[in-house]
Chain A
């Protein structure tokens, strides 16, 4: 059973802070994704990665960056958190049975 683990379930950060959201998968999947989920907007793709040290912008990359130094770990970075980045963040990894999502990190920026 594929596990996608997000390190924090809830986070509260201050405006301007640098924020790291961590995601780890245990099935040696090459493809990993970060989405944010907002009411009425569904899941929107921020960044994705097909391999180590490789990244591609999704639909809403502004204000975010990512890091993929190891195959199992895909980090989302908010360089300078802003209140409009308050959201639920979902990491996903893809295998033979489609996406497997992490439990999500609910980030509040105050």
Chain B
């Protein structure tokens, strides 16, 4: 089955700096890679996703890159703000079914 590893487990940046979170997956059949943001006490919310036919996707300050050959994908947040502080989860699946999640990254943006 699919196995997703996520690094780092914690990340602290200064406001305005960039943050990068990396994930690797094991199943080459996986073709859907979403990222979720979970604020304290709230449910995970989808922030961006990418499919295996695309190498990069951007949405304002957030971008995701995918390297299918190396089986890794990354989340990039530019110009970080304190409200970006949260736990971020990557996930991988085949056709968005029975997703497997990474262990999460706790991002802290210091003002």
Contact = CB atoms under 8 A, between A and B. Distances in A.
B89 interface: yes
Interface residues of B, number: 21
Contacts of B44: 43, 90, 99, 101
Q: What does DSSP make chain A's interface, helix, strand, loop or mixed?
A: strand
Contacts of A59: 1, 100
A48 B97 CA distance: 9
Contact of A43 (B1, B49, B89, B96): B89
Given A40-B9, A42-B6, A101-B44, A58 B98 contact: yes
Interface string A61-105: 000000000000000000000000000001000100111011110
A50 B102 CA distance: 23
Interface string A15-51: 0000000000000000101010000111111001010
Given A42-B6, A45-B98, A104 B43 contact: yes
A99 B102 contact: no
Given A40-B9, A42-B89, A98 B96 contact: yes
B101 interface: yes
B43 A102 contact: yes
Contacts of B100: 45, 59
Interface of A: 31, 33, 35, 40-45, 48, 50, 56, 58-59, 90, 94, 97-99, 101-104
Interface of B: 1, 6, 9, 34, 36, 42-46, 49, 89, 96-104
